[in-house]
Each structure stands twice: as structure tokens, then as C-alpha cells.
Amino acid sequence: MSSIRSLVPKVPALSAWSKKFRNKGAARTPRCTLADQVAADTGFEKLRQHTRWSDAAMDNMTVVEINPGLGVWTSALFNGGFNKIYSLEPNVNYLHEIQALADESDGSIIPLKKDGYDWKTYVELKDNTYLGKYINPDWSKVHPNILFTGTLPKSAKGEQLLAQFATCIVNKMALHSIGRIQMALWIPDQLYQKFTAAAGSKERCKMGVVSEACADINLIYSPSPESVYLNNSYHLVHIVPNNKANIKAEWDVFEYVLKHIFVMQKQPLNKMVRTLGPGADIILGRLSFDSNILVGNMSASQIDEVAIKFDQWPLRPKVLFEDSQTAI
């Protein structure tokens, strides 16, 4: 590994960035991107301190980065010592920026015109050309050869993507069909609050319940809003999947229960349980906790217990979803 690297992307002024990378259509504002190299480098150093990666460990790791944008975080990863970085960028203008960095990286940065939001991408990544040789079904340890990273859009698309990542951890799908892969994601503030919201908090949502059950989540770094175009508050978050998700119920049953009772979080469980099906309140007496609890105050393990008891009920609905691909 090179001891000194100083790859620096060309970061345009905010006004120039807004014009050059403007989207077509209704949502014309460019996708958020890190724009401060010092902030990116600081984030990487804090991440390395947290993970305690050695030089040898980083030598053996392949990075998969989504939405690199201007390449500021890409440069921090390269300068930090990673020797293979697949940068997945669907935006042609941003892809040109990544290609310029790749041309100066001696082959370490590999731009790919792929979209981290497209699940076909993760099928393609399992090809031997990319990550196929690293497929490891052993979840007793964190995968030693892959880091998944990137910047989530500040949009409904970003929220849906993060929710799907959590679901994929539970079900070992998409990226996590390759193994127990750690993630370091730049997440917009509002989405971060929802992703990490504890039981009883106003930000609590279905996604937060799933993330509580499936991963260890640590806040690494929060740069100033000016570090991210267009002046947005973002957080660097390290996510390590649990070797076993704390969901013992079948996923489709857990998802069904979660979706139905979370419609009204400020209502008690003993009321919302009726939304699971006629007569479903029979399971209340089989729970180990007080069914007067407000839905929004329930832990993931309590919701899992409801799902287990519901699944054991002989009269439960047999068809839970008309569309088995219902998202969180």
C-alpha cells in the first residue's frame, strides 16, 4: 500500500455545481454530494479509528461505493489506502468526474455506470469479474474482504434504499447474499434520525424497528452542512449486520404485523392488533408483556413476539400480501 497519496478531485463552486449537474425533469436540483475534502478525510480517519483497520486488512478489502458524485469521498478512501474501489455512478456528468480520478489512481479506482438503487446491480456484482470470488455464507464474522459505502440521496429514493438495505440484512439478499458485509454510509440527517430512532421517539418508524433488530449502528462523524452540496446536514454512519437478526418470526409474518400495527403508533397494541385480522386479539393473552403498551413504544423484540404468536394462531389470514414484494 502506498504510504503517501494525495489524489484531490476538482470541486466546482456551489453555483457552478448547481448548473453543471442539474437534473432533467421536475427534480432539477443535483443529487447531494460531499464537496469538502478535509471533511471527507476527517470522516475516513474517524472511521478507521472506530473500525481499527490495519494496513494489512485494508490491503485485502475491496470497496464498493454508490453515488460517489464529485469523488470527494472516493479520494478519501483512495488516499486512506484502499487499493480497489468500485465506484458505481449512474449520473453521466458525475461519472466523468470519477473517471478523471480513476485516470490518476493507477487502476485502484474503477468507475462503473451502475445504479445502487437498481437491484440488478447487485446481481451483476456477484459475477467473478467483481465480487464473485468473495462470496462467503459464513456470518459468524464480518466479511473481511468487502466494504460497502456511499452517499444516500436526500429524497424518498434514499429512504427507500436504506429501508431495503435493512431488509436485505435480515433476509441475506442483494449485497448481503455475498456475506455479512459492513457498511459506511453518508446519510442525510432526517433519514438518520428515522433510521436510529429508539422506541418511544417521535421519529420511530418501521425502518427503525428493522434496523434495531438487524444491525449495530454507530455514528462516526457529522461535518458542517457546508461540506455537502447543497448545504445539507449529513452523517457518516458505520453499520455492521448482526450475525443473526433478532427476528425469530418468518419475515413475511413480521413484516405484515409491523406494517399493520404501525399505522397508528399512538394507539395501544390491544387496539391495533385487531387490524391483523378478525379475532386476532386472542393472541394478547399469550404475550409476555402488557398489551396496553403504545405501538410506538414497542421494541423490535416485542413486535417479533406478536408476530410469532400471530403466526401460531390457527385462524390467521393465510395470504398476508397480495404482492410478496411489498416494501417496508
Q: Alpha-carbon distance 42 to 319, whole Å?
A: 50
> Which residues of the chain form CATH 3.40.50.150?
14-241
| Burial bucket for residue 154 (CB in 10 Å: 0-12, 13-18, 19+) | buried
Among 149, 137, 126, smallest CA distance to 69 is for 149
From 301, 328, 150, select the one nearest 239 (Cα to Cα).
150
Q: Which residue has the cell 471533511?
A: 39
Host H or E run for residue 65: strand 62-66
Number of continuous H segments (helices) and E segments (strands) in the chain: 12, 9
CATH class of 251-312: mainly alpha
Q: Is 322 exposed, middle or buried (0-12, 13-18, 19+ CB in 10 A)?
A: exposed
CA–CA dist 220, 53 (Å, integer): 14
The CATH number of the structural domain formed by 14-241 is 3.40.50.150
Range list for CATH 1.10.8.100 in the chain: 251-312
Please tell me the predicted confidence (pLDDT) of residue 2: 47
Specify the pLDDT at position 90: 95
What's residue 316's pLDDT? 87
pLDDT by 10s per residue, the chain, length 328: 445 788 999 999 998 998 888 877 645 678 999 999 999 999 999 999 999 999 999 999 999 999 999 999 999 999 999 999 999 999 999 999 999 999 999 999 999 999 999 989 999 999 999 999 999 999 999 999 999 999 999 999 999 999 999 999 999 999 999 999 999 999 999 999 999 999 999 999 999 999 999 999 999 999 999 999 989 999 999 999 999 889 999 999 999 999 999 999 999 999 999 999 999 999 999 999 999 999 999 999 999 999 999 999 998 888 786 544 433 3
What is the model's pTM? 0.92
22 vs 27: CA distance, rounded Å:
9
| Cβ(186)–Cβ(244) below 8 Å | no
What's the pLDDT score for residue 322? 53
